[in-house]
Amino acid sequence: MIEFYDLRIWQEAKEVFKTTYMVTRHPCLDNDRYVRLQLRRAAYSVGLNIAEGKGRGTAKQYRQFLLVARGSLEEVHSGFYIAQELFPELQMTPEFEAQIKKLKLSISALIKKLAASNE
């Protein structure tokens, strides 16, 4: 049986979380812990939902958790765009944005594959 930590998408989610964590250490967020914590929670949720879905045992349940993971990833992406307007010093690098987009595509491809296997 393949473990969640062996999944490429879980590895990608872990990297997105680590990058989010490092970027949100920026001092501009010292006085706004809510923004910092919300971005971190959303990024953390991506990998957790991938792992939980994998452990559920059915393709239908796995797909549902992947949909939640993709939604959390969208939350991270959107949250950074909003935060950058409030805190111009907080920059989402092109590499970080590419990392998010790659994970989004990976999750979407797996959702599509699982949906096809359910038909």
The DSSP H or E segment spanning 9 is helix 8-23
Terminal C-alpha separation, the chain? 23
Q: Which residues contact 92 (CB under 8 A, 6 or more apart)?
A: 23, 80, 81, 84
pTM of the model: 0.93
pLDDT tens readout for residues 33-73: 999 999 999 999 999 999 999 999 899 999 999 999 999 99
pLDDT at 57: 81
Instruction: Give dist(CA 97, CA 81) in Å, integer.
Output: 10
pLDDT at 45: 98
- What would the two tokens of residue 64 be? 């549902």
pLDDT at 117: 84
pLDDT tens readout for residues 4-14: 999 999 999 99
pLDDT at 50: 97
- For tokens 């990976």, name the residue: 106
Distances in whole angstroms, Cα of residue 20 to Cα of each of 45, 63, 119: 12, 24, 36
The total of other beta-carbon atoms located within 10 Å of residue 60's CB is 13
CATH superfamily ID and name for 4-118: 23S rRNA-intervening sequence (1.20.1440.60)
Least confident interval from 19-23, 69-73, 89-93:
89-93
Mean of per-residue pLDDT scores for the chain: 94
